[in-house]
Amino acid sequence: MKALVIAHEPDGHAGQIAARLKERGFIVDTHIVTHEYARPNDAEPWPNVDEYDVVLPMGSVRSLTRKHEIDSWVYTELELLKQIHAAGTPILGVCFGGQLLAEALGGSVEVAPVTEIGWFEIESPPGTENPAGPGPWKEWHHDRFTPPPSAEILAVNENAVQLFRSGRTVGTQFHPEVDFAHLEAWVNTCDDEYLASSGVTRADILQGASANEEMNIKQCHAFVDWFLDEIAFPEPATP
């Protein structure tokens, strides 16, 4: 089986999600949408998504509240994800990818009242079960989504909806894919002014990455297993 990772920038790959997919026997291809942070509208042509069994739109430094910065490709991607969902192909969207899915399927995205950069616990709303577990999970976002009207909300925290499902489509606000190297690469793209304005330091982020890496790899792999076994390709019920 084949999985397509949509990486909106070169360091926005699927990390430990891709690692687990490969362990489960998937061929994982990565399509990088834009290659230079300074040229966010210079996008690569889209691949043929019909060749893939799973699609994974990942995070981004971009925002759906500023579509004019990425209008050469973002509307195309929103329509593409809507079509993939309608076709029944499983989709797992992470952070910006989850926001794309929310908007493509009838939800919305707004600037969050609270920026989350760090490790946060999440929980299920009353009457539901959080299949991801409490974490803590890595958060790094300035926006948040309102899920589509038909979606089931599976996890929240006090600041945002963190996990939703609509059929074979799942969107997260948190980043299950990260490990130390991944977060170190992100930090290296940030200037001190941005970090200070967000209330964090490089040392904070790297210390958290080191302290939580082993735990997060395990919970990420378990989360991918849940997505594959319960959402994407569940076993038929035994009569």
Buried residues in 62-94 as b, exposed as e (16+ CB within 10 A):
bbbeeeeebeebbeebbebbbebbeeebbbbbb
Gap between the Cα atoms of 214 and 74, Å rounded? 34
Residue pointed to by tokens 């299920």: 124
Catalytic residues, by residue number, are: 95, 175, 177
pLDDT at 85: 98
CA distances from 62 to 22, 25, 90 (A): 28, 32, 24
> Smallest Cα–Cα separation from 120: which of 155, 154, 170?
155
pLDDT at 236: 77
Tokens matching residue 117: 């950069």
Q: How many CB atoms lie within 10 A of CB 165?
A: 17
Gap between the Cα atoms of 5 and 30, Å rounded? 5
What is 2-232's CATH number?
3.40.50.880
CA distances from 30 to 82, 117, 231 (A): 20, 25, 22
Gap between the Cα atoms of 100 and 22, Å rounded? 25
pLDDT at 143: 98
Do 165 and 121 meet the contact criterion of CB atoms below 8 Å apart? Answer: no
| Mean pLDDT of all residues belonging to the chain | 96
Residue spans of the chain under pLDDT 70: 237-239
Q: What are the DSSP E strand ranges found in 18-150? A: 27-32, 54-57, 91-94, 108-120, 137-146
Do 78 and 100 meet the contact criterion of CB atoms below 8 Å apart? Answer: yes
Q: How many CB atoms lie within 10 A of CB 225?
A: 13
Helices vs. strands in the chain: H and E counts, helices first: 6, 9
pLDDT at 237: 62
Tokens matching residue 51: 């060749």
Per DSSP, what are the bridge partners of residue 141? 116
What global pTM score does this model have?
Answer: 0.96
First to last CA, the chain: 27
Tokens matching residue 125: 């709303």
Gap between the Cα atoms of 101 and 79, Å rounded? 10
Tallying the residues shown for the chain, one arrives at 239
Over residues 82-141, the pLDDT tens digits come to 999 999 999 999 999 999 999 999 999 999 999 999 999 999 999 889 999 999 999 999
Tokens matching residue 206: 């790297």
pLDDT at 235: 83
pLDDT at 239: 65
